[in-house]
């Protein structure tokens, strides 16, 4: 009896698995979003590297916090651009997406900033403070290493420069 019962369960399992699979294949064949039954080109498998990226918050270029003595101001542009002009008191930390800073350097910097007793880190870069801007990307790297209150100037350098003039 038990053997017969087990065989019935096994039979049902096979029958329903096949039946549901057929429903899936038919539904896929008639739907607009259907995919080919057999893939012909290899999938580009995206396995993201474990990048410790955190949140950065936007800050207006004329915000009072920018001039606050408890702010660490970072210029994430190239060395040349930094030499040409940089915000008063800004530290230069070069951020190059194609030549990223070593983990040890980022860890050391974020550790130093965290121990400095300052209230916040404000970064500006070569864009408008959005994704792709060196300041934004560096801010995310620092924030991802546990640094809190990391802000990015949400404006291009010219606007930032004007907002700092008296």
Partner 1 sequence: MKKLMLWSGHAWVALPVRFYLAYVFISACWHKILEPGLFAVDVATYQILPLSLINLAAITLPWVELGVGIMLIVGFRSRAAALMVAGMMVIFMTALGIALYNELDMSCGCFASSAAAAEDPISMMTMWRDAGWLALALYVVFFDRRSLGVDAWMQRVKEGKEKKNAS
Choose, by CB under 8 A, the member of 1, 3, 4, 45 that binds partner 1: 45
Q: How many CB atoms lie within 10 A of CB 52?
A: 13
Residue 74, φ and ψ in degrees, nearest 5: -125, 130
Task: Yes or no: say if 134 and 77 are a contact pair by the CB < 8 Å rule.
Answer: yes
Of the candidate residues 1, 3, 4, 49, the single one contacting partner 1 (CB under 8 A): 49
Min CB(2)–partner 1 separation in Å: 10
- Whose Cβ is closer to partner 1: residue 39's or residue 64's? 39
| Sequence-ordered list of residues with C-beta below 8 angstroms from that of 130, at least 6 positions apart, any chain | 136, 154
x/- track of binding to partner 1 for residues 22-41 (CB under 8 A): -xxx-xx----xxxxxxx--
First to last CA, the chain: 94
Return the range that interacts with partner 1 (CB under 8 A); candidates 21-29, 131-139, 146-154, 155-163: 21-29
For the window 1-20, what string marks contact with partner 1 as x by the rule CB under 8 A?
Answer: --------xx-xx--xx-xx
42 is a site residue for partner 1 (CB under 8 A): yes
Interface map 136-165 toward partner 1 (x if CB under 8 A): ------------------------------
CA distance 49 to 103: 14
Q: How far is CA 111 from CA 75, 107, 115, 150, in A?
A: 18, 6, 6, 13
Question: Minimum CB separation from partner 1 for residue 143, in Å?
Answer: 16
**How many Cα neighbours within 13 Å face the side chain of 153?**
33
47 binds partner 1 (CB under 8 A): yes
Are 152 and 139 a contacting pair, CB within 8 Å?
yes
In the complex, the residues that contact partner 1 under the rule CB under 8 A are: 9-10, 12-13, 16-17, 19-21, 23-25, 27-28, 33-39, 42-43, 45-50
């Amino acid at each position: 009896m038990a053997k017969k019962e087990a065989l019935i369960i096994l039979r049902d399992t096979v029958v329903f698995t096949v039946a549901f699979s057929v429903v899936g294949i038919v539904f896929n064949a008639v739907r607009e979003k259907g995919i080919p039954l057999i893939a012909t080109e290899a999938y580009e498998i995206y396995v993201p590297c474990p990048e410790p990226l955190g949140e950065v918050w936007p800050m207006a270029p004329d915000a009072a916090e920018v001039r606050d003595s408890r702010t660490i101001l970072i210029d994430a542009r190239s060395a040349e651009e930094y030499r040409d002009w940089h915000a008063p008191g800004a530290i230069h930390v070069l951020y190059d997406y194609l030549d990223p800073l070593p983990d040890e350097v980022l860890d050391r910097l974020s550790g130093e900033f965290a121990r400095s007793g300052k209230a916040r880190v404000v970064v500006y870069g070569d864009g408008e403070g959005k994704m792709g801007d060196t300041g934004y990307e560096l801010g995310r790297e620092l924030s991802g290493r546990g640094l809190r209150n990391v802000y990015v100037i949400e404006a291009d350098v010219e606007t930032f420069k004007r907002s700092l003039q008296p």
